[in-house]
Amino acid sequence: MDSLEGLRSLEEIRQVKYRCLRCVDLKLWDEIGDVFTEDADLDYGTVAYGKPLQIVGRPGIVAFFRTKLGPDTLTSHSAGQPEITVDGDGVSSDRASGIWQVRDTVLATRHRMLITGAAFHHDRYERGPDGRWRVAGTRCVRNYEAMVSLDDLPSFKLTAALDGQVRDGQAMDPLPSLVTHK
């Protein structure tokens, strides 16, 4: 592999992974589609919403994020320790794979739940005709996932949220159920 082209590919792949997580956390649904190949697949390796969470195709992935991670669900993802392998010589190659250590926190305000976890994402990447790397697939292998009800945390108080949805200790729509206690 040509060292300069190889380094360029590694950095572009890192950036596409970070862009994906940023788009999820900031709810940039119009941007996130370009992170994935048209036929990308996600396998989160867990049962969620009553069935195994597997999604195929860019439109389905974007629809899932838009529907399930809407304004009443706050998320925070961080990824690191990437082990990325670019197939072939790095110059003519259009495929790569990577393993990432990922930590996530989900604040599901509608359900009054706080979820945290750690996992390894096993990703596949493809370089498109436009020369850009995109995620072709992700398989999530959970180290752990833990949940706690916000009702069990009487001192919990949301002091800031995406787009300034909390003012003077009071949540603004769509988060009123989170800071309003019985």
What pLDDT, in 10s, does the model give residues 47-61? 666 667 889 999 999
Bridge-based pairing of strands 36-48 and 170-171 is: unpaired
Query: Comparing C-alpha atoms, which of 114, 115, 119 is closest to residue 103?
Result: 119
Written as one letter, the residue type at 181 is H
Cβ atoms of 144 and 115 closer than 8 Å: no
DSSP three-state, residue 179: helix
pLDDT tops 70 at residue 151 = yes
Cβ atoms of 115 and 100 within 8 Å: the answer is no
- 181 vs 39, higher pLDDT: 39
Q: Are 62 and 29 in contact (CB under 8 A)?
A: yes
State percent of the chain over pLDDT 90: 65
95 and 117 in contact (C-beta within 8 Å)?
Answer: no
Domain 3-149 has CATH 3.90.1640.30: no
What does the pLDDT read at residue 89? 59
78-135: pLDDT as tens digits? 999 999 999 975 556 899 999 999 999 999 988 899 999 999 999 999 999 999 999 9
Predicted confidence at residue 156, as pLDDT, reads 85
Contact 174, 71 (CB under 8 A): yes
Residue-level pLDDT at 2: 60
Domain parsing of the chain, residue ranges: 3-149
Residue 119: burial class (beta carbons within 10 Å; 0-12, 13-18, 19+)? buried
